Amino acid sequence: MIYRSKAPLRIGLAGGGTDVSPYSDEFGGAILNATLSLNAYASIEPMQEGGIVLEALDRKEKQGFEWKSELPINGTLDLLKGVYNRIQKDYGITQKNFKLSTYVDAPAGSGLGTSSTLVVAILGAFVEMLKLPLGDYDIAHYAYEIERNDLQLAGGKQDQYAATFGGVNFMEFFGDRVIVNPLRIRQEYINELENNLLLYFTATSRESATIIKEQQKNVTQKNESSIEAMHQLKEQAKMMKEVLLRGKLNEIGHILDFGFEQKRKMAHNISNEAIENIYEAAKKSGATGGKISGAGGGGFMIFYCPGNTRYQVMETLNNFGGVIKPYQFTQNGLTTWISQ
C-alpha cells in the first residue's frame, strides 16, 4: 500500500510580494494567482524494515535513517525532514519503517512556488496515511508554519494556499488571516488566457531568500519607494481580478507591464540585464506585457501575447537559450489517494 499525493504549482498574475510579512501584517496584501498542470508529488511506502528512507527523485538525493522522532535539519532534504519532524511532534507516527519519495515538475528556485507546493504535497501524503482531520485552510497554514517558523525559510503565504486550494484565486492577507476567494471565470476566457499567456523558463534558478529579506527590510525601515510599489501591486491584483471576470483580456498585458515596473522598485536583483533583454525583446515581438514569476532574479517569466503574436514571441524567445513550457490551468488543488 502506497499513500500518494500531488499539489499544483502556480503562477502569480498580480500582487506578488504583498503576501510577505511585515507588509501584509501592517497594510494587508492581495494576490491573484492560478494553478498549472505542473505538480509536486509525494509518496509514502511502508516497509517491513529499513528505518526511514527519504528520496527526492528529481534532485537525485537520497538519505536513510534509523527510526527516530526527529531528523537533522542540515541542508539536505530539509523540506521532507521538516514535515516529518512536525507531524511526528504533533501527531506521532507509528509506522517506523517507510520510504518518502518526492518529485517536482519544475526545478527549485524557478519562481512557481516549488518549495511550498512540495511541503503541501508531503503533508497530503501524511494526512492520507494518518487520516488526519485537516481541511484546506488547516493544511495550507500548517505548511506555512513548517516553512517559515520551523525551517526559518523566508517567503510569503500565497504558495501554500494556491497549492492546497487550486484554481484561479484572489487572495487577501491580514496578518495570520488569509481569505481565499475562488474566481468563477468563464471557460472561454480561460481558454484565451492559456492561448495568449506564454510560460518561459529562462534556464536559470535563483535564491529567493535574499530578495525577500531585502523586501522585508525595506518595509521595516520604512523605505517609502518600496512600500508605495507594494501598495501599487496590491491595486494591480484588484485590476487583474476585474479584467478576468469581465473578459477584458487584452488589458492583461498592460496590467502585467505596470506590475513589473512596480516590482522592480521593491528590492535590488529582482531584475537584471539578462531579464531586461528578454523582456524588451518579447515586447518588440508583440507581447504587451509580462513579469518574472515569484520573487524575481531568474526562473520563469510570463508574457501576454494578444491575437496571434505568441508565435513571433516564441521565435524570439528561442534566441535566448530558455524553454517555452507547455501548460494548462487547473481547478484542482491538493489531491491524495491510496495505491493498493
SS3 118: helix
Q: What is the rounded distance in angstroms from the CA atom of residue 42 to the CA atom of residue 122?
A: 5
Separation of alpha carbons 263 and 302, rounded Å:
14
Verify that 177 and 240 share a domain, yes or no: no
**CATH value at residue 108:** 3.30.230.10
Which among 298, 154, 275, 156 is positioned nearest to 213, based on CA atoms? 154
- 143 lies in the same domain as 28: yes
Burial class of residue 273, CB neighbours in 10 A (0-12, 13-18, 19+): exposed
Same domain? For 32 and 180 the reply is yes
Q: Which residue has the cell 505538480?
A: 39
Which pLDDT score is estimated for 207? 59
**pLDDT in the model for residue 205:** 65
Residue 95 confidence (pLDDT): 85
**Would you say residue 222 lies in a domain?**
yes
Is residue 38 within 8 Å of 193, Cβ to Cβ? no
Domain count, the chain: 2
Residue 340 included in any domain = no
Domain's final residue, options 155, 184, 213:
184
Q: What is the pLDDT of residues 84-95, one digit of tens each?
A: 999 999 999 988
d(CA 315, CA 165): 35
Q: Is residue 214 part of a domain?
A: yes
Strand duo 197-201 + 300-304: pairing:
antiparallel
In the structure grid, which three cell numbers stand for residue 136, read together? 484546506
Local structure of 11: helix, strand or coil: strand
Residue 156 lies in a domain: yes
The C-alpha atoms of residue 263 and residue 320 are separated, in whole angstroms, by: 23
Name the grid cell of 191: 481558454
Q: Tell whether 62 and 156 lie within a shared domain.
A: yes
Grid cell, residue 237, equals 491584483
| Domain assignment of residue 90, yes or no | yes
Do 137 and 193 have their domain in common? Answer: no
- Look at residue 181 in the predicted model and tell me its pLDDT: 98
* Contact call for residues 178 and 161 (beta carbons, < 8 A): yes
**Residue 195 shares a structural domain with residue 102:** no
- Do 7 and 108 reside in the same domain of the chain? yes
Are both 131 and 150 inside the same structural domain? yes
Asked which of 184, 199, 218 is the last residue of a domain, the reply is: 184
Phi, psi for residue 283 in degrees, rounded to 5? -65, -40
For residue 148, the model assigns a pLDDT of 94
- What pLDDT is attached to residue 289? 97
Do residues 211 and 144 share a domain? Answer: no
Instruction: Look at residue 336 and tell me if it is in a domain.
Output: no
Catalytic (active site) residue 58: no
Q: What CATH number corresponds to the domain at position 239?
A: 3.30.70.890
Residue located via cell numbers 506578488: 16
Q: Which of 184, 219, 242 is the last residue of a domain?
A: 184
Task: Please give the pLDDT value at position 277.
Answer: 93
pLDDT at residue 209, as a whole number: 67
Torsions phi, psi for 67 (to 5 deg): -60, 130
Q: How far apart are CA 313 and CA 147, in angstroms?
A: 37
Structural domain boundaries enclosing 280: 187-324
Catalytic hit among 19, 159, 176, 257 = 159
Give the pLDDT confidence score for residue 219 in this predicted structure: 84
Query: Does residue 245 lie within any of the structural domains?
Result: yes
- pLDDT score of 282: 97
Is 52 a member of any domain?
Answer: yes
State how far the Cα of 239 lies from the Cα of 115, in Å rounded to an integer.
28
Which stretches of the chain drop beneath a pLDDT of 70?
Answer: 205-209, 295-297
**70 and 177 in a common domain:** yes
pLDDT at 297: 67
191 and 284 share a domain?
yes
Q: Could you tell me if 25 and 106 lie in one domain?
A: yes
pLDDT, one tens digit per residue, over 125-178 is 999 999 999 999 999 999 999 999 999 998 899 999 999 999 999 999 998 899
